[in-house]
Amino acid sequence: MKAVLQRVSKASVTIEGEISAKIGNGLLILLGIEEADTQDDIEWLCRKIINMRIFGDENNAMNNSLKDVDGDAIVVSQFTLHASTKKGNRPSFIKAAKPDFAEPMYEKFVAHFEKEFGKKIGTGEFGADMKVELLNDGPVTILIDSKEKS
């Protein structure tokens, strides 16, 4: 399971002209799921994201977590995080999980994140054509891969 965290001043997701999620200060999380992912990956990644100290403290040093700053979050499923670009110029998405596996894992991730975080988060819509807008704060962008946790 891969996640791209973007610390944002604001972010939104629009589907078919309607805003489905909108936040101020917080994280926009792009989530890529592969067939090898498990509940353990969900739990580890949620815990890691929620406690990642990437928000400024009173001295503007990155010492605060999403919880510490009472930030918000949006999670958007993005299979393209598992693109392989080794051969040719057309990416291969063979490592990305098929929708019948990925969608329930995405829903489990969102549910577990909300449980651990203690409040509702915004989401995109699995498989939809989404327009994602953000104002990256910093900029701060972090890539986390649950397969590299050891």
Q: Does the active-site annotation cover 141?
A: no
CATH number of the domain residue 23 falls in? 3.50.80.10
Which secondary structure element, helix H or strand E, spans residue 136, and what is its range?
A: strand 130-145
Concatenating the DSSP letter of every residue in 56-90 gives E-TTS-EEE-TTTTT-EEEEEE-GGGG-B-SSSSS
Average pLDDT over all residues of the chain: 96
Domains in the chain: how many in total? 1
| Catalytic residue of the set 38, 80, 85, 123 | 80
pLDDT level of residue 7 (50, 70, 90 thresholds) = very high
AA identity, residue 131: K
State the residue range of the domain holding 35: 2-148
**100-141 per-position pLDDT tens digit:** 999 999 999 999 999 999 999 999 999 999 999 999 999 999
pLDDT of residue 149: 82
pLDDT level of residue 146 (50, 70, 90 thresholds) = very high
Q: How far apart are CA 130 and CA 28, in angstroms?
A: 14
Within the chain, where are the H helices? 39-51, 99-117
